[in-house]
Structure formats: structure tokens, C-alpha cells
Structure 1
């Protein structure tokens, strides 16, 4: 008899469970762990007794090797009842299923599971997502390793520690977790969006609906067009409108442009009237025009505003950094009159009117200009943002360099042949 310190799930599934007196209880079908525990302890073995599924207290089970085979022996046959919540079955819920690699920020498939046999119990240590896990289950891992050894080659193992994975709970599954996706919630919205995009439509919604509203709105912005459509078309109208209202109008317009049709119109009608109208105006611009790319979230001040008033207003508004590359100055008719840099604002006397320190030599584009003209102007003058005006010189919005770069990259991807 050889004591086992670690083993793979595939090595023991299907093995018989014996009693101390040599009676065969049945074949091992699964192992159950408690998801609430920091260290995932195996609490039960699942085996069939006749047509019934039984749960054997795993603290009563010994695992050892005899003649090269794994042996499972129950010191005492103690059957237990399990509540479904927070109980993960390793075969049913994890093996051959998709899980999230938190550090790698991607969805992976579990090919095997490594467990550790300690004095305090049996614990899940890691998941095997490599080719070796598949070969092991087919009984080919050892023969192939022996074949490759003379050539100095080996099968690369690929493990992820259990602490670094998050099980994906599909609506089709009977798995119920009280703290679903707590690890996912710590990821950056862009990484979370990438993960959601890899899931099927039903599971996408299952993950997305666990996010709080603010994070859900940011993640929705980051999703690709197909995933955005799936999410918005699956959500109730009121919920979809609430999420979109947390975004800038230009982002909403971009998303609804991809949906169009009756659903987009219904969402717009559900949104606040002023924002809805603003979005409709942006959606009305032809593709590849400046108006279709500009954001209407910018800060402008009247010409008679003093430096002190302007600084106090900025403190009150606490605007995002990318909206205050430049401060725009307008007259009473909202016509663009000048631009003030943050440097000029800081060094000026508090009672100085903006009209006295603003730069009247303004670089701008029209909302109807094409994107080629926009790229030329931004490149020529090395701008981080550029104001957008209409034929009456009224300030309509701003195009940020980040948005322009993203648009160019997106267009290039669409043109790339596959």
C-alpha cells in the first residue's frame, strides 16, 4: 500500500469504493466540494446504489495505491444529505466545462483536476487545461511521454491554481452559488468584456446580469457589437434604457446604430427625453462624418466668466481628465469664441475674464466634415481633442484623440481579409 499525497480526478473516477470488510459500495461517479470554503475541501463522494445517487462523507474515505492502482476505502459508511447551494460537483460542473482564468483573463476548458490528499482532508489544488489532461484521460499520457523521452521532448503541462479560476454558472446548470462571479467583479471592464464575448448567448446574459448597474454600463461599452446586441435585446426595455443612460450620448448612439430597427426605437422612447433626442441627432449623422464620432459631453464657459469662477466650477463638476484638455469659451449664442489652456487658467489673476486670456486662433472642424479631414487636422496640429461646430459657428461637441484612434483601428480591422 502506497500513501497518495496528490492525484488527478480522472485517476479515481469510475473506481470502486470498498468498505473495511471488502464490500463493494459502488463506482465513484463524482466528488463534491464546498464552494464557500477558502480551501475547496472535498466533502462527499457520489456513487450509485441501485438507481439511487448516494453521498458518502468523504472524511471517512482513504485513498492509496496498490499494485499501481488507486484504491478508495470507506472506513465507515456515513451517508450525508447535501443542500445544493454552494456545492460544486467536480465532474458535473467543472470537468470539460468552461471556466474563467482570472489572471489570464480568458475562458478556458478544464481537461482534468488535481487534488491534494492532506492530513486534514482532500482539497482541490488546480485545474489542468493542457493537452496532457486530455491524453491522461485517454490513457495515452504515459505511452506518449515514453515515446518522446529519447528525443528530449515532453508534453507541456498547463495548470491554473483553483484560487485563480472562476466557475461559469450556466442557466442550464443546477449549480447554485451564493457569491456568483465575485472574482470576475474584480477584473477591469475591458477584460471582463473579452471574457463575456467568449461565452454563448445564454451564459453571456447570466454573467452580465450579476454585475452592478455602474459596472454593467461600462462593460456594455466595451463589448463588441454582437455581444452588445445580444445583451440589449435580452434585457427588459426599462433595464436597457437605465444602463444606456449611464453612458455618454455618443457611446449610446454607436451602440444603437448597431441594433437599429424597432428595438432601438423602443429603447430610445424609454430613455429620458432630452438624452434620447441628443442620441437621435447623433444617430442622424452619416457614417464617416465628424458628427458621427463627436462626443457631446464637454465643458464650455461664457466669455465673461472670471478665472476664479471657472476654477470653482471645475472643482464642482470634477470632470474626467480627457474632457479638459482644453477649455472652450462661447458667447451668449453658444458660438465658439476661443480656447483656454489649463496653464493659462492657473497662472492668470482670479478676477480676469476668460475673454482676456483665451486664444482666438481656434482650430476646429465642422460636424459635416468627413473623417479624412478630421485626421488631417488632428495630425497637423498634434491635438488631443478638437471642437466641432456647425455652419453657424455654434459649439456642438468635441472629438477626442482616443475616439479617433479607436475608429481608425476598427475600420482597419473590418477591412482586413480573413
Structure 2
């Protein structure tokens, strides 16, 4: 076990029929460096490959390749029952096994997760630890596409992706400035993916481990941690490149989405890509709601702004709803926060232009507040968010 002050960690890799990719994934972990470029000690972390329901010899390939890398590689092979033979349950099983191992080694452990079809960046491990050392309990890394694979899908598909990534970056800044979280400041992103997660064992245990679900287990983990009061950092310094394959392992997963978009380049974007003004409005109201909920402020003014019954929030308090449950209920009831439609790529150039104007306004407001402490994000006396 590593005796440095840095926590000991296990990197988990759930793998189902990944014989052709698992070596590349492990190799990227084998050559990890610190943030100054020096190779990490061989005992800085262990690698746990959880080969589930494989028919292509994934575990044999991983065991054979383990002899080539400096880290200890543990390969566990299991046949999950049909109702659990999916990406979510496989990740949960892998992370639970890592948590058990780390508990046996002592306090302060960290579980990290990536995917067998992904390659972590050279300082991925060290950057995760650096973020954790800043006082957060979980780090969600940035997921990038494998360059050759994304380019091979064609110029039009790549252009669509570049538009979406541009808008996602602007949306992340809008949210970070309108609904600031001290532990997750801009620059950041808005994605929680199992291809790059790091979480302390203590926080993982506190929420009962990875939520059990076939899909979306990664986002559910960060949501559960946030709801429990743990800090989640969405770091742009922690980077993973993942495959762009269109024949995936998980029905309804990323590969299926890519197939739809290849067939129709103007297919709808992800559900959370709203029009820019609505992104700003939602983030500002969420910030106001969080402060009001946590401070037990009078509910009337907030209800009026959101156009919901005056006793709606009060009833949620009486039902002992959590902040997340209350916000979801309010979002579903308020016409101000209603999701009217999903954007299409053809609409993104206009929304990008609007988002850039919003960002410029928010940056200017931040400079004004810095120059004159006490400046406000909201119009004096109006109670309405300042959107321009």
C-alpha cells in the first residue's frame, strides 16, 4: 500500500466483451504521470477489471497484459444474472468490490472509475487527487471523443459535435455564474460520466454506494452525493478520451444516440440543451430557490415569481422533501421553468450567439461586483433575475 499522504486508490474498469480495447485502457493507466510530468510510483493505485458476462476472452486478455504494466491489476470475472447484466450494475459491482478492498486497507481510500473503451489522459489520476485535495468528495472528469474515430464519422457529424460542444461550454459558464457553487466554479462542465469518476470511499459508503440502475448510474451517483451534502467538482483538468463506436454494449446508451444522429444529422440534441435564455433563467431561479429553501425564508415571494400556488413550497416543507425533490417538484409545476422543447443542431448557431451575449453580460456584472462589493445580480426591488 502507498504510504504517502495521498489517499490510496483503486481504478475500476467494468468490461463486457472488450477484448479488443481493454489493453489500450490499461496501458493508459500504466503510464500515468504526476502534474509535473514525473511517472507515478507503481503502488500509487491498483487497477480492478470487472469482466462481466464476457464471451470474447476479455479477462484472459487483461490478465495476460497485466504482466506488462507496473501497477497491480486484479481481474474479476463474473456472470451477472440477466436482470443485472448491464453497464450500471457492472459498474456498481466493480465499485463495491473496490470499496471493500479499500476498507480493508484503512481509511482515506478513493474509488475511481473509467470505461474499457476509454483512455485516460496522462495526468488523469494525479489531477483527480489534486481536485480531491481541494476539499471535494467527488470529481467528474471531462469526456472527449477519440479523435480518429470521431473524424472518421464524417465532416458533417464532426461539425454537429463541435456546435454542441461550443454550446455546452457556454451553457456551463452561464450555469456556473447564475447558480454559483463555491466548490465547483467556472471553468467547469456539466457532465457526470462513469468514464471518469473519482469518489472518496467515505462519501460512497455514506450514500449507500452507486445507485442501482441499468443506465444513468453515473449521473445518479453525483446527484445523490450532492443531495447528501457532499461536494462534486466537474473538472476540465481531468480528461478521458472515449470511443465513438456506434455498436454499443448498453441499449439506450451513447452508441444508440450516435446511431440516431448519424442517420439524421438534425436529430434533437440532449434534453438538457435548452434555449440560452431558459438556461440562464432556470439557473438563476435554482440559485434563489436553494437559498430560500436552506434559509427557511418566506415562501410567498418565491411562489409568486415561479407562478405556483402560494402554499406549494410550504407543503413540500411539511412533507420533508429534500432540496432536490423540492426543486424537481417546483420545476415540474412552474410554467416559468417548463421545458417546452428540445433544441436541434440547426438552431444552435442562433442560441450560441445569444449565449455569448449572456456570458458577456454575466462577466461584466462579475467585474462590477468585484469593483463595488455589494453589487447585486438582480434588479433592485424587482425580485426578477437579471438576464441582460
* TM-score of the alignment, normalized to the shorter chain, above 0.5: no
Q: Which has the higher strand share?
A: 1
**1 or 2 for the larger relative contact order (CA 8 Å, sep ≥6)?**
2
Q: Which has the higher helix share?
A: 2
What's the TM-score once normalised by structure 1's chain length?
Answer: 0.22
What's the TM-score once normalised by structure 2's chain length?
Answer: 0.23
Report which of the two structures shows the higher radius of gyration computed on alpha carbons.
1
